[in-house]
Amino acid sequence: MINPSPTQFAIAYGVSVFLSFFILIPASIDSHNMRGNCLLTAKGYWNETNELVVTWGHRSACNFIVFMGVACLLSSLYFLWNSIYSVCKGYDGSPLFCFVSLLLGAFMTISLLSSSFIVSLGYSSWCDIVTGKKDNNQVCWKVDLGNFNKEYHVNSDDFSSDLEIIEFGSWGSTLSWLAVTVLSFFKVRYYHKNEELIQGLALEKDSLIPYRLRYQKIDEGSSYT
């Protein structure tokens, strides 16, 4: 029966802490460079004068990415500290705590998966807009945006590297929290099976006691005869 150790949990949470910085830091930098505008949900086209016209999307998409970076960092730090404490004390954890870890792991995995799709699809959509320039034969991050930065008072020089780092951090964090969820599932399953075993042994013990008392009475009766 698989019984994940606190060390395995500590490794998974440590990886999640590390990867959360790949979400939070570039997302914050990109937000600053874009003056609060969100590239991930933007729409645009190149007009007749070969100038990029953009309609910024709703800010909630980029805010969600930043929020997931913060949530991933804080929750990972808390559970990492708890796992390290368990390792140092030689404590295997409680069933209730493992169940809470399972629920949180499932929630974080689904949320990070959603943010990963937002980043990947948003980045692809923005590149489609940028590379739609007439007579363009360059990749997304090399296209000359002309007066785009001056027109919208933004700095788009590093948008590609920022989004690629965020994409890496999001998908990596999703996998690390998926690992936490799987470990928590096996831990909860281990506690459940172990509890059933203990209950079964207790029932066997209770069922054997009357027979032992009966045989004890028979032996006492035969000693008197």
Q: Cβ contacts of residue 9 below 8 Å, gap of 6+?
A: 79, 83, 86, 101, 180, 183, 184
* pLDDT by position in tens, the chain (length 225): 677 788 899 999 999 999 999 999 999 999 898 888 888 888 988 888 888 889 988 889 999 999 999 999 999 999 999 889 888 887 777 777 888 889 999 999 999 999 999 999 999 998 888 888 777 777 887 878 878 888 888 888 888 889 999 999 999 999 999 999 999 999 888 887 776 545 544 555 555 555 455 555 555 555 545
Strand pairing category for 52-55 and 43-46 = antiparallel
Locus of tokens 């002309």: 146
- pLDDT number for residue 144: 80
Length in residues, the chain: 225
Q: What residues pair up with 46 in beta bridges, in sequence order?
A: 52
Cα–chain-centroid distance for residue 118?
Answer: 14
Residue whose C-alpha is closest to residue 73's, from 132, 25, 125: 25
Beta-carbon neighbour count of residue 185 at 10 Å? 17
Q: Is 78 within 8 Å of 114 (Cβ atoms)?
A: no
Q: Is 40 within 8 Å of 80 (Cβ atoms)?
A: no
Residue whose C-alpha is closest to residue 27's, from 125, 118, 140, 150: 118
DSSP string, the chain: -----HHHHHHHHHHHHHHHHHHHHHHHHHHHHTTT--STT-EEEE-TTS-EEEE---THHHHHHHHHHHHHHHHHHHHHHHHHHHHHHT----HHHHHHHHHHHHHHHHHHHHHHHHHHHHHHHHHHHHTTSTT--S-GGG---TTHHHHHT---TTHHHHHHHHHHHHHHHHHHHHHHHHHHHHHHHHHHHHHHHHHHHHHHHHHHHHHHHHHHHHHHHHHH-
* Rounded CA separation 25/41 (Å): 20
| pTM for the predicted model, two decimal places | 0.82
Q: Could you tell me the residue ranges of all domains in the chain?
A: 6-189
